[in-house]
């Protein structure tokens, strides 16, 4: 049971930061940015590159988060904002094109083989009957800690109130003096930084590779949709539910169905669990389970 909880928390931290970033931006710009998951991949590679030139891991991570935040803002201003004039579907297709460009560039520069950070955070720590690495504990702490800080930002600061006002009614928010452009740019920067942090943490616990962002696409969008697109904290809860489903399916022994033991679902079918719970949930809650915050300030 303890191992199941740890595996669930690790998987949740893998996808939560990226899903929350996707959802918080969607609440303002109103289109699903497919390229968002590639910010995580780029962030992981930028952190790797900075550590390779001698930067301490923490400083490299900070530089990666800032860089991805700036890149997200520039893309929003120069590309996505213009595409949105033709509709959200056009912007979504454009984001897919941007995603493919990112993959092609990294494939040409770094190749397709996986890389590992040389951070030295790999000593196992015994917890009860199982062990967990410092890398994994770091990932879990970053994931849940940042979501907690984001909750404080959204509900305890003027920036958060302005963001929620814009999400609910941008015209009315502008009439009351909210600087819409500044809020959008600030939240977009934050989403890029969260994606870079999430990608780096995933690279820390697994590896840094060209498919990192693509592998996140399905569970991240499933978590964001399940939580109600535009509801960041709902996306975090959706990430937890998706992680529970994935971990449960891959850890259950289905041998009793075949009269023998050690019959497990192959890891390649892990995404099926995500979409099964998503499909069942959306049959009863088409706007996601946690859609209440999307409809009010």
Residue 208, classed as helix, strand or coil, is strand
DSSP code per residue over 178-206: --HHHHHHHHHHHHHHHHHHHHHHHHHHS
Contact 190, 17 (CB under 8 A): no
Q: How far apart are the C-alpha atoms of 281 and 81, rounded to whole Å?
A: 32
Contact 82, 96 (CB under 8 A): no
Q: What is the model's pLDDT at position 181?
A: 82
Q: How far apart are the C-alpha atoms of 127 and 116, rounded to whole Å?
A: 25
Per the DSSP assignment, residues forming a β-bridge with 124 are: 133
Tokens read off for 58: 């923490």
**Residues in the chain, pLDDT under 70:** 119-123, 251-271, 290-297
Q: What is the model's pLDDT at position 210?
A: 93
Element (H, E) at 127: strand 124-127
Q: What is the model's pLDDT at position 296?
A: 40
Q: What is the model's pLDDT at position 5?
A: 85
The dihedral through the CA atoms of 117, 121, 238, 27 has a sign that is negative
Q: What is the model's pLDDT at position 17?
A: 92
Residue 41, classed as helix, strand or coil, is helix
pTM of this structure: 0.86
Runs of H (alpha helix) within the chain: 2-29, 36-52, 57-75, 81-83, 88-110, 134-156, 158-168, 170-175, 180-205, 212-227, 232-251, 270-284
Contact 230, 167 (CB under 8 A): yes
Residue 260, classed as helix, strand or coil, is coil
Contact 114, 208 (CB under 8 A): yes
């Amino acid at each position: 049971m303890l191992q199941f909880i740890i595996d669930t928390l690790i998987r949740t931290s893998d996808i939560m930061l990226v899903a929350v970033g996707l959802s918080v931006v969607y609440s303002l710009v109103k289109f699903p940015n497919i390229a968002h998951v590639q910010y995580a991949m780029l962030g992981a590679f930028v952190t790797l590159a900075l550590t390779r030139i001698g930067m301490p891991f923490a400083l490299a991570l900070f530089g990666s988060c800032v860089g991805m935040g700036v890149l997200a803002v520039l893309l929003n201003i120069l590309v996505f904002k213009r595409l949105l004039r033709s509709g959200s579907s056009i912007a979504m297709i454009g984001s897919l094109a941007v995603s493919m460009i990112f993959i092609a560039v990294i494939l040409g520069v770094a190749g397709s083989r996986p890389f590992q950070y040389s951070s030295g955070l790999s000593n196992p720590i015994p917890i009860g009957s199982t062990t967990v690495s410092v890398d994994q504990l770091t990932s879990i702490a970053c994931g849940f800690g940042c979501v907690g800080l984001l909750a404080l930002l959204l509900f305890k600061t003027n920036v958060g109130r302005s963001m929620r006002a814009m999400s609910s009614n941008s015209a009315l928010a502008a009439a009351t003096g909210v600087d819409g452009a500044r809020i959008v740019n600030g939240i977009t920067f934050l989403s890029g930084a969260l994606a870079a942090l999430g990608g780096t943490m995933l690279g820390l616990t697994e590896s840094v590779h060209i498919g990192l962002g693509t592998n996140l696409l399905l569970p991240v969008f499933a978590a964001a949709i399940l939580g109600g697109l535009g509801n960041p904290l709902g996306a975090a809860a959706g990430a937890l539910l998706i992680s529970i489903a994935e971990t449960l399916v891959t850890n259950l022994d289905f041998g009793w169905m075949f009269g023998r033991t050690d019959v497990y679902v192959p890891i390649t079918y892990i995404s099926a669990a995500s979409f099964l719970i998503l499909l069942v949930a959306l049959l009863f809650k088409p706007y996601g389970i946690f859609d209440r915050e999307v409809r009010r300030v």
